[in-house]
Amino acid sequence: EPEVTQTPSHQVTQMGQEVILRCVPISNHLYFYWYRQILGQKVEFLVSFYNNEISEKSEIFDDQFSVERPDGSNFTLKIRSTKLEDSAMYFCASSGDYSYEQYFGPGTRLTVT
Amino acid sequence: QKEVEQNSGPLSVPEGAIASLNCTYSDRGSQSFFWYRQYSGKSPELIMFIYSNGDKEDGRFTAQLNKASQYVSLLIRDSQPSDSATYLCAVEGGANNLFFGTGTRLTVIP
């Protein structure tokens, strides 16, 4: 069964460093998303991406964040200068055309020290 | 900001019983509703979605939607210990984004 994959599973970085989280969405899906979940809190929407551009972003997704689809399979989230409060699980999700059903990857645990 | 409210639990039911999980949402214009299961330390797993008023059944799971009351629920019949997890209610926000509740932690007691 096709699934969303994410790498790395765990990333430790120092405050102020740049990180890139990688995702491979389900191959025939057209919509891609990033969510985050701070430990013990709810899943929060960051950004949605369709047709090579951002279609929606939340207040969390400020200038420190960017997304890119560098090739036909990968979808990345970059955090330019990490802060302690960026520590969270980051989930990538994808959905097909005309479908709101989003399928999540296993997540990347980001720890900022 | 669209709000999705769930009772955080924990909800404990004996094995074989029916577990009932509830969710309310603030945006009357919301059209699509989802239930995800999240095991500790894992990612959300989609188990049910519902778009129309009424009931939708899939195996042991039934989703119920009442748009007039802005209420969506999930029933799990013949609960199993493997159903023990946090159940997340999610509401589509109108731009392909999902708003999640805080989740209800379910424990099924053998």
Tokens of A113: 């020290």
Q: How confident is the model at residue A72 (pLDDT cuts 50, 70, 90)?
A: confident
Task: Supply the DSSP symbol for B18.
Answer: P
Residue of B nearest to A32 (CA): B96
Across B86-93, average pLDDT:
94
Query: In what helix (H) or strand (E) does residue A44 lie, and over which residues does it extend?
Result: strand A43-50
Q: List chain A residues with CB under 8 Å of B32.
A: 100
Q: For B29-46, how does the pLDDT look when each residue is reduced to its tens digit (9 = 90+)?
A: 889 999 999 999 999 999
Q: Angle at Cα B13 formed by Cα B12 and Cα B17, nearest 5°?
A: 165
What is the three-class DSSP state of A85?
helix
Establish, for the pair of chains A and B, how many residue pairs have beta carbons separated by less than 8 Å: 59
Q: Does A42 touch chain B (CB under 8 A)?
A: yes
> Which alpha helices (DSSP H) does chain A contain, by range?
none
Q: How confident is the model at residue A26 (pLDDT cuts 50, 70, 90)?
A: very high
pLDDT of residue A1: 77
When CB atoms are compared, the residue of A41, A95, A104 closest to B44 is A104
Task: Give Cα B79 distance to the centre of its chain.
Answer: 15
Q: Does A65 touch chain B (CB under 8 A)?
A: no
- Asked if pLDDT for residue A74 goes beyond 80, the answer is yes
More confident residue, B16 or B92: B16
CA distance A32 to A28: 11
Across B8-33, average pLDDT:
94
CB contact under 8 A, A104 and B43: yes
CA distance A80 to A60: 14
Peptide linkage before A8 cis (omega within 30 of 0):
yes
